[in-house]
Structure 1
Amino acid sequence: MDEPVTDTGGGLVRLRMDVQYDGAGFHGWARQPALRTVQAELEQALSVVLRSDVELTVAGRTDAGVHATGQVVHVDVPAVIWAEQGPKLIRRLRGVLPSDIAVRAVTEAHPAFDARFGALARHYVYRLTDDPAGPSPLRRADTATWPRRLDAAAMDLAAGLLLGQNDFAAYCRRREGATTIRTLLRLAVARHREDDGSQTVRIDASADAFCHSMVRSLVGALLAVGEGRRPLDWPASLVSRTERSSEVPVAPAHGLTLVAVDYPPDADLAARAGVTRARRA
């Protein structure tokens, strides 16, 4: 269900927050009864610091176990509270947030800024290693281990055939009332040397938006190509299907990280939100 549009009049200011988290200990972003989620932890911390109930709108609802280094949220707060707490908000949040969540920046946003509907693109990185030694100990939390050698060049060729606007129903877990039509802007696979010297196979995925489990399902299909079990055109051939494909495995969650979200200039924010709210067809 879409978040309600908040009236930013009446002495409220809209804040943009840039957030990072280690997803291992969370049941995803979205608040759920009796489960630990990023949204619930962050809203609780903000309510304590601001002494006011808040409700966050997020750019991308990450699944259980998925990480973020470039998550974006917005929240509306009374102007008087922002004036009082603004200069010390990040430091105070650090004091009450758990160690697996960090707020990197808080800025006053344009009234038309909408973290979810104003976004132009979301960017994810999936890391895995097929090295028999496994991932570097320093990257084990965000790098999946794969037991067989992968042909990254073949995976990249297969990925290129999926680009553009398509109905990705075969790669999505359906949600009531949600469309599975997406514009895949980038899907690239390459072997990559990390800063610590370890070797990974890195999949970069960018789209206007992703539906539930879409990135991990795309990775799963590409892994089948990389192992030689499926031909290059197999992942693209599934785009013609109208429902989730049971043939597509879902890659492990902990290899996936949301790294960035793009937004238009302030003057174009309202128009972008209007376009995004219109159901894709």
Structure 2
Amino acid sequence: MRYFIEIAYDGQPYHGWQRQPQSISVQEVLEEALSTLLRVVIVVTGAGRTDAGVHAKQLYAHFDFSNLFTEKDLKNLQHRLNRFMPPSIAVNRIVPVTSEAHARFDAMVRSYEYKIHQAKNPFLNQHSYFFEKELDVERMNAASQYLLGKQDFKCFSRSNTDVKTYLCEITEARWEHNNTELLFTITADRFLRNMVRAVVGTLLDVGMHNIAPAHLKEIIASRSRSEAGASAPAHGLYLTAVKYPQKIFNLDGRR
């Protein structure tokens, strides 16, 4: 039987989602907790790979287990997992899905947020990027419009990545300004490695009047990472939502 597990985590203590040979990861902590409680080796597959220091408000992973849990069993497992795991990781729910459901490949839409604060605040140090320089948010929003649609975003991708295509369809990209805090929201069908942080870094260049908003078109067309801005720090980035087709939760006759 296959199950989806929804978690949230503070990425600061971890070297990203994916298991690393000599560094602690979210995947490792989750797999060890499930394996201990279920008394069998459990391997989980995540919806995506967040980098070291990146946070998640919602991330799904799937795992297989021979038993068919009742709704009460799943609530009990969720409760036990939350007691077993560190405070930096929360299990929000566990749900049965169809046997072919895949946390990564069935994801239709993903959303990220990037947080910036411009007044020194000791309580935000690990969860928002402190950026003192003045920013023109109107220009940043104008530039964000050039991101919309289905395009080749190789210019924002980490070098030497093993993807087959750099095409992504971005449906939302906008900045919100609230006093001394800025929030960037971006939604797409898929994202490349380091893509959101590279986009944010480039838009910060626009906000500082280093480049014009329309120059984003030339950067995208170049397909060159060196043409885009520096990556923004990881600790300001949050994976906020992953959406799936409803059919994978419909188990009637498809266990």
TM-score scaled by length of structure 1: 0.83
What is aligned with 2:186?
Answer: 205
| 1:243 is aligned to 2:224 | yes
Structure 2 contact 116–131 (Cα < 8 Å) conserved: yes
What is aligned with 1:102?
Answer: 90
Using the alignment, how far apart are the partners of 1:241 and 1:72 within structure 2?
A: 34
Letter in 2 for 1:57: T
| 1:184 is aligned to 2:170 | yes
What is aligned with 1:214?
Answer: 195
Match of residue 160, structure 1, among 129, 140, 145: 145
Using the alignment, how far apart are the partners of 2:224 and 2:204 within structure 1?
A: 21
What secondary structure is seen at the aligned counterpart in 2 of 1:154? helix
What secondary structure is seen at the aligned counterpart in 1 of 2:185? strand
Aligned-residue CA RMSD (Å): 1.9
What are the ranges of 5 or more consecutive residues in structure 2 without an aligned counterpart? 251-255
Q: How many residues are paired up?
A: 248
Match of residue 207, structure 2, among 205, 209, 226: 226
Letter in 1 for 2:84: V
Match of residue 125, structure 2, among 133, 140, 143: 140
| 1:119 is aligned to 2:107 | yes
| 1:16 is aligned to 2:4 | yes
Structure 2 contact 17–50 (Cα < 8 Å) conserved: yes
What are the ranges of 5 or more consecutive residues in structure 1 without an aligned counterpart? 1-12, 194-198, 270-281
What secondary structure is seen at the aligned counterpart in 2 of 1:173? coil
What is aligned with 2:253?
Answer: none
TM-score scaled by length of structure 2: 0.91
Using the alignment, how far apart are the partners of 1:86 and 1:161 within structure 2?
A: 44
What is aligned with 2:246?
Answer: 265
Structure 1 contact 153–190 (Cα < 8 Å) conserved: no
Structure 1 contact 171–245 (Cα < 8 Å) conserved: no
Question: Identity, % of aligned pairs?
Answer: 33
What secondary structure is seen at the aligned counterpart in 2 of 1:23? coil
Using the alignment, how far apart are the partners of 1:77 and 1:157 within structure 2?
A: 49
Residues 60, 104 of structure 1: CA spacing in aligned structure 2 closer, same or farther, 3 A cutoff?
same
Using the alignment, how far apart are the partners of 1:264 and 1:210 within structure 2?
A: 18
What is aligned with 1:67?
Answer: 55
Using the alignment, how far apart are the partners of 1:221 and 1:231 within structure 2?
A: 11
